[in-house]
Structure 1
């Protein structure tokens, strides 16, 4: 879609300006927060990070929380984005690793939900704290989306399409905004909205719409033939796939499911897919419910997450070239957790306006 220039420009421009922005008051619809003296901290995980092969990575983060606060950590894994978002918003969860869109939804429900830290970019700062939203097709079918020396998404119309969840930043919010931005310039689709992309059928934009429930699930929908085109992000499938040809995170790149990939990719070893569109997305936060955790614990958590011990913890930030499965990776040695304010996520808020 001309590499989603409009959307990319919006995001990258607002990444710089976002820190000086302010948001309006939003009504708190969540249940009133209770005690701040609890002995157990409940950590909530999205479906993407709830997989069995990521248990060690979750546990290592939990150990950081336990050491910092002196409290026991209980992990709450989920199979649905909404469950995770509701848990942190209504106080059933104290700390959650979320995407930007899910954080915004939780913050809208309860202003006491605030960002704690995000993982930095390769510079070690917020300046490049991004990952990538991909639109993908099976290897061998990418020619239908070529345009000159690049790619265009005109031919996604009428296809079976897989999103992740409508609460996913890179698996719905960003790709749906990009699709609407691209097609609404055409007379036939000038009234197209993101809601029009939620259901498929005759006379609909897509012939069928699926939701993978996780980025892994959306990728599986593509590779098993349930979907012709699928949205998912680079980081959530990086433990299972490897670059086969082309340049990483560039349209035209081909990835394949690597040997030894864990479920749900274990039956898809060697299957390949091609990127036809790539859009940068703001990294998601570890978010905290400030109504269920006190200021002292929150400060301890910020100090712990941003410490050199965590930055250098190879079970949290996998060293470059590591074959282990984890949540975060070191490429330059500068990657770390950095504190962030709510306003930093305003670029994603803008996508809903």
Structure 2
């Protein structure tokens, strides 16, 4: 009796557990829309920008928007993929990973470039060193990544487009031309011991930059848009190898203890802009279309809390330098990032 009873009890417990998990998935008819955010956009300094996006969605659908903030890329990706959130703002790589987990994940809009189109809808992946070490990364007067071997290196997250996928691909492409590194793979860069002496992860672009400036890392990967609210150009031109940036005197956390610290870019690579995405199994087609239409509207394009004027001191998610706005795209637009995995 005891032997036959135990498996039955275990079966009941497992069934109850699985039932509880499935019940957490939101339905497409829910009167609430949950928006999940990456760690990069979860800081207090971006609350006004998040709330304004939420307000646009609420007005479009008549439903309450709840913001789910995260400290881990994987949590955000899993949350949208399993239906525990109906929308997310995430990088191209995170979108692809979520799409691989669930075919229901669809892009809603992406921020355009200055032209107001997809033609220049890019931001930039940086490899940076502390300004005091910049001269060590020059060869024949030009900046190079040749000297990053055996360094302490900081990525953002394995699921980050500009904080891992793009820089790791660039590093492999560059070094695999050398006989010593002809078999190098992105996986070899994930931990210290083979190519890098040590590998750290910042868990956000801000965190990766802090790893560099606090001297935990010698070189770091992070992107321009995620640290743009905290730094300013000290020497050179924006998004150019050799340019030096300085942490602003009024920088918010986590840079508030690093004001005045400087870093220099040794590599700059364009990256496809990050999309707002939806889970079509938990967001109705009607709401999807309403949200898409509203986000892509002229009204939102001219909303200075969402697209912050270039000369404004206000922290925001997106800058308005010319005709920036949200534009509609499809899954195929992200294929160049998929190609990096092949």
- Match of 1:57, SS state, is helix
Contact 1:116 1:339 in 2 (8 A): yes
Aligned to 2:205: 215
1:257-268 to 2 correspondences below 5 Å: 257-268=247-258
Flag the structure with larger Rg.
2
Contact 1:31 1:90 in 2 (8 A): no
Cα-to-partner distance string for 1:37-74 (whole Å, 9 max, x where unaligned)? 10000000000000111111100100000000000000
Correspondence 1:285 to 2:275? yes
Correspondence 1:118 to 2:126? no
Following the alignment from structure 1 to structure 2, what is the Cα–Cα distance between the partners of residues 152 and 239? 27
Root-mean-square deviation (Å): 1.2
Following the alignment from structure 1 to structure 2, what is the Cα–Cα distance between the partners of residues 36 and 159? 48
Cα-to-partner distance string for 1:115-165 (whole Å, 9 max, x where unaligned)? 000000000000000000000000121111112242111110000000000
Alpha carbons of 1:145 and 1:59: their partners in 2 closer, same or farther (altered >3 Å)? same
Report the TM-score when normalising by structure 1: 0.90
Contact 1:134 1:275 in 2 (8 A): yes
Contact 1:31 1:91 in 2 (8 A): no
Aligned to 1:345: 334
Task: Name whichever of 140-149 and 321-330 sits farther off.
Answer: 140-149
1:163 to 155, 168, 180: 155
2:184 to 168, 182, 192: 192
Aligned to 1:40: 32
How many residues are treated as equivalent by the alignment?
Answer: 321
How far the C-alpha of 1:31 sits from its partner, in A, is: 7.0
Correspondence 1:235 to 2:225? yes
Aligned to 2:78: 86
How far the C-alpha of 1:34 sits from its partner, in A, is: 6.0
Runs of 4 or more, structure 1, over 3 Å off, are 30-34
Report the TM-score when normalising by structure 2: 0.92
Aligned to 2:324: 335
Task: Name whichever of 147-156 and 235-244 sits farther off.
Answer: 147-156
1:76 to 68, 78, 82: 68
Cα-to-partner distance string for 1:147-203 (whole Å, 9 max, x where unaligned)? 2242111110000000000000000000000000000110000010000001113xx
Following the alignment from structure 2 to structure 1, what is the Cα–Cα distance between the partners of residues 27 and 306? 30
Unpaired segments of 5 or more residues in structure 1?
1-29
Unpaired segments of 5 or more residues in structure 2?
1-20
Task: Name whichever of 251-260 and 142-151 sits farther off.
Answer: 142-151
